[in-house]
Amino acid sequence: MSKDTSVIIDARSEERFLGTAPEPRPELSSGHIPNSINIPFKFVLENRKMKSFDDLFKIFTKFENENEIIFTCGSGITASILALAAAVLEIKNTAVYDGSWTEWASNGNLPIVKEV
């Protein structure tokens, strides 16, 4: 990927991301932000602790050339777990979309992708 790109990484479960499982907030559609990718927050944890540097590097190495990495989830909480994992790797170009899926899906005018 070129240095002029950004990536949105969604920390929710694969089922919520794909739109195959309902959101815990009944008024919200499941699905995801267009062009975002899914790394469930549990992928960076092992026995409820952060995985090793080497394991985290394997997960995040494909994003090393991104201009910015934006983490999102349902409400901004589990996105912060991915942001912490990136910080362990000293990745500096990150942000957490604190409104996350709740804000996006509540808008009504923003596109939602479902892969069902």
Catalytic residue among 73, 83, 86, 105: 73
Q: For residue 73, indicate whether it is catalytic.
A: yes
Tokens 């909480």 appear where?
A: 77
Decide: 35 and 111 in contact? Cβ < 8 Å: no
CA distances from 116 to 19, 58, 105 (A): 6, 28, 17
Could you give the CA distance from residue 23 to residue 29 in angstroms, rounded to a whole number?
7
Burial of residue 4 (number of CB atoms within 10 Å: 0-12, 13-18, 19+) = exposed
User: Mind telling me the catalytic residues?
Assistant: 73
